[in-house]
Amino acid sequence: MFNPLKGLGDFQKLQQQAQQMQKALQQEKVTVEKNGVKVVVRGDQQVLEIEIDGVLENRVSQAINEAVKKTQELAAKKLLEISQGQE
């Protein structure tokens, strides 16, 4: 007999794995220095710091983080539209 709730356990497991990965990525940092610009980014794509010619530019970091957040929201919206269209 078909159990429509069987997939729920798989979904919860995937959700837990995604949360674990998110936490692990938040602990990682990548630093790139090139042409007088230094950028520090967390593994979850959060820009922590931008320094240009030795001057910290928080405004640039904030603008980039907002743009990344908006693209993530757009991606989530599109994924939801696609998944609803396949039902």
Q: CB of 30 within 8 A of CB of 41? A: yes
The CA–CA distances, whole Å, from 42 to 24, 31, 48, 82, 83 equal 10, 9, 7, 29, 29
User: Is this prediction's pTM over 0.75?
Assistant: no
Residue type present at position 57 = E
pLDDT (tens digit, 9 = 90+) per residue, 47-70? 999 999 999 999 999 999 999 999
35-44 residue pLDDT tens: 999 999 999 8
